[in-house]
Chains A and B, each alone.
Chain A
Amino acid sequence: MSNNNNIDDIMSAYFEKPKRTSTWSGFSVKEIYSPQDIEGTNYDRDLANAGEYPYTRGIHSDMFRGRYWTKREVTGFGTATDTNRRLKTQIKEGVSGLNVIRDNPTNLGIDPDHPLAKGEVGLVGVSLCSLRDMEDLTKGIAPDKVSMSLICASCPAIVILAQYVLVAEQRGIDAAKLRGTIANDPLHCRYCGWRPSNPIELSLKLSVDIIEHCTHHMPYWNTAVVNSYDLRENGVNAAQEVAFGLAMAMAYINGALERGLNIDEFASRRAFYCSSHIDFFEEIAKLRSARRMWARIMKEKYGAENPKSWKFRFAVHTAGCSLVPQQPLNNIIRIAYQALAAVLAGVQSLHSCSYDEPIALPTEESQRIALRTQQILAYETGVSSTADPLGGSYYIESLTNKIEEEASKILDEIEKMGGMIQAMRSGWLDHEIDKSSLEYQKEVERRERIIVGVNAFVVPPDKETPGGVHRNPVESEKEQIAGVKELKAKRDKKRLEEAIRRLREKAQMGEKENLFVPIMDSLNAEATLGEIMGTLREGYGYSYDPLNIIESPF
């Protein structure tokens, strides 16, 4: 399991057998699986055809024969104009949906001209501070003709979605026609390295506002996505990914029910954002088990009656954390296996990573290869021709059962604590994530997990990254900060102050008062993202600035 340094090594390589036989999440794997391993599994009850409850084999009866998965590539850097250019390139290359990610200041709910934003504006995503930014982002891209996924999972999701709706309306497009997804999962962000910008209560409230508003006005929009992908990236295992993801989704559902919505009104517009890691069969089994568990939770626990509410619809982001900077072209192969696993598991929408992601944001070329990976899967390999081609495999079904069993145990534990919000407050979730991520790292160091190029088959590093390294346009940050300052200086102060005053009043009217429309009004009066978020925070009795540096200008 290392480089052959002399002629004797080739013989030990010839006789070598795998050292690790358990899955990457630690499930032991037998030499061979047979009907005995799935004794007790009842086809109609536990599997059923695709399109039938409990959807273990897929949510549509015809799966990809009805429609391919949506091919998207996450994009965002610099100014909205910079990102718009890349989106248009992607459209030419053949994506079937768009996926935009915001920068860190936007994620935190502060403006680019905030004293602490400097150095981060437009770096890891696009800066979306004002309505004007959203106009620039979507210039030449008709919102009614494209499925748009907006990743802004932390506090400002409601502002970003309101920006998008307004831009569509300005172009004469009814919000009811919009198709896409808002990554509306402020709870998970607390576990992904970002500083939590809003307290749990306000995060949950705004998340439910989006669900409520979309339920009544945007029937094709995916209102809430739980991002278990990010949790997985932090080192949790496959069963934990399922359990934590479902438990978070239940927290939002409970919030929406408390708001007074009926489960069948909104549950069908919920989606999940999952990882596809490197252990091929484990990932397929994981996604199948999540689908079955969710169907049962929705039907049995929540009493949902509409079959659409039972369906676990999910997007996959191939595992960024499995990619390594050593011999980076090998990542193309890792990504292809992970994308294949996602497709075999019946994914609805797929982002396949670019090989250079451990080094920088993707270049145009590396992103093209990522998209081509999906296209080769779709058009050449034939894997999309039939639903759940691995269904009935003794191994896959047995592993699906095992992951469900383990994830159910974790879910029960969370339920006993009083649900996910309690598990978060008590610090239990932090502890579980830390424990798992440390264990993962230890196994790599002990070479219990082999990563080619890292702890085996190491070669001297390349001098240059093949294909080059993405560079953000140098002037983008300056331009964006200057643009925001200019916007703030030139807008109609009276109109703005009036809108902000009304927004504050609404925010003080209690948890049940939906803030989506007042936020749209504020955006129309040219309020910025930071100003809107700050005003909401004040309305709820918190400081205007989540970083406690600046005061409200109003």
Chain B
Amino acid sequence: MEGVKKEKVRVLLTRHLLEGHDIGLRTVVNGCRESGIEVIYYPRFEDFSEIVKVAEEEDVALVGITSSSGAHIYLAEGVISLLKERGMDIPIIMGGVIPDKDVPRLKEIGIKCVFGPGSAPDEVAGFIVENIGPC
């Protein structure tokens, strides 16, 4: 789609099947939509290939994954390595209950930005608008 300016930036927001917490994610979904971002809300993915498949099919510009159970490193490694394997370059952001100490490791793995506990939905929307594209 190079050269075609999209009117709205489209993103995928999701969480793992076994992740119990969703209130934060749903709040971010609402916040992004109110900021004019088109959100594909995919409540539960089973495995990493499912994220990649939905991201491709829906042609999203960014994927956001929430994790509040402590599985963030595992999830980050899984999804980034699959993207690399397929030669894809979709920016991934993460949010949820993620200790600050783990942020450098997540960045090293290839996560673009981490919205830990206490982040406002506006911050996520702001990041997307600034870094990904027009709304």
Contacts and interface: CB of A to CB of B under 8 A. Distances in A.
B120 interface: yes
Nearest to A114: B18
B18 A108 contact: yes
Given A124-B70, A325-B117, A104 B101 contact: no
B87 interface: no
Interface stretch (A132-140, A187-195, A272-280, A395-403): A187-195
- Which among B16, B17, B78 has the highest number of chain A CB atoms within 10 Å? B17
B134 interface: no
B99 A469 contact: yes
B110 interface: no
Interface stretch (A34-42, A171-179, A260-268, A356-364): A356-364
Contacts of A547: 17, 46
A200 B128 CA distance: 39
A120 B21 contact: no
A358 B23 CA distance: 13
B70 A437 contact: no
A358 B97 contact: yes
A193 B43 CA distance: 9
Interface in A420-444: 434, 437-438, 441
Contact of B21 (A193, A461, A549): A193
Contacts of B46: 116, 547, 549
Given A437-B23, A465-B99, A116 B18 contact: yes
A408 interface: no
Nearest to B117: A325
A117 B71 CA distance: 11
Contacts of A469: 99, 101
A64 B97 CA distance: 37
A326 B118 contact: yes
Interface in B14-39: 16-23, 26-27, 30
A123 B17 contact: no
A86 to B, nearest CB: 16
Contacts of B121: 441, 445
Given A324-B118, A360-B99, A469-B101, A124 B74 contact: no
Contact of B69 (A123, A359, A441, A461): A123
A325 B116 contact: yes
Contacts of B47: 116
A333 B22 CA distance: 26
A193 B16 CA distance: 11
Interface in A217-251: 233-235
A152 to B, nearest CB: 13
B109 interface: no
Nearest to A105: B18
How extensive is the interface on chain B, given as a class?
20 to 34
Contacts of A118: 74
Given A193-B19, A324-B118, A441-B27, A120 B44 contact: no
Nearest to A465: B99
Contacts of B18: 104-105, 108, 116-117, 119-120, 195
B118 A454 contact: yes
- Which among A118, A124, A445 has the highest number of chain B CB atoms within 10 Å? A124
Contacts of A358: 97, 117-118
Nearest to B99: A469
Interface string B68-106: 011100110010000000000000000001011100000
Contacts of B122: 445
Contacts of A441: 27, 30, 121
B23 A325 contact: no
A458 to B, nearest CB: 10
B73 to A, nearest CB: 9
A472 interface: yes
A116 B108 CA distance: 25
Contacts of A465: 99-100
Given A193-B20, A360-B97, A437 B69 contact: no
Nearest to A120: B18
B126 to A, nearest CB: 14
A361 B16 CA distance: 19
A235 B30 CA distance: 15
23 contacts: A104-B18, A104-B19, A116-B17, A117-B18, A120-B18, A124-B70, A192-B20, A193-B21, A193-B23, A195-B17, A195-B18, A324-B118, A325-B116, A325-B117, A437-B26, A445-B122, A454-B118, A461-B100, A463-B100, A464-B100, A464-B101, A465-B100, A469-B101
**9 closest A-B pairs by CB:** A325-B117, A119-B74, A193-B22, A104-B18, A120-B18, A325-B118, A119-B71, A193-B20, A124-B69
Given A120-B16, A195-B17, A437-B26, 16 more contacts: A104-B69, A105-B18, A119-B18, A119-B74, A120-B18, A124-B69, A124-B70, A192-B20, A193-B20, A324-B118, A325-B117, A358-B97, A360-B70, A360-B97, A437-B23, A465-B99
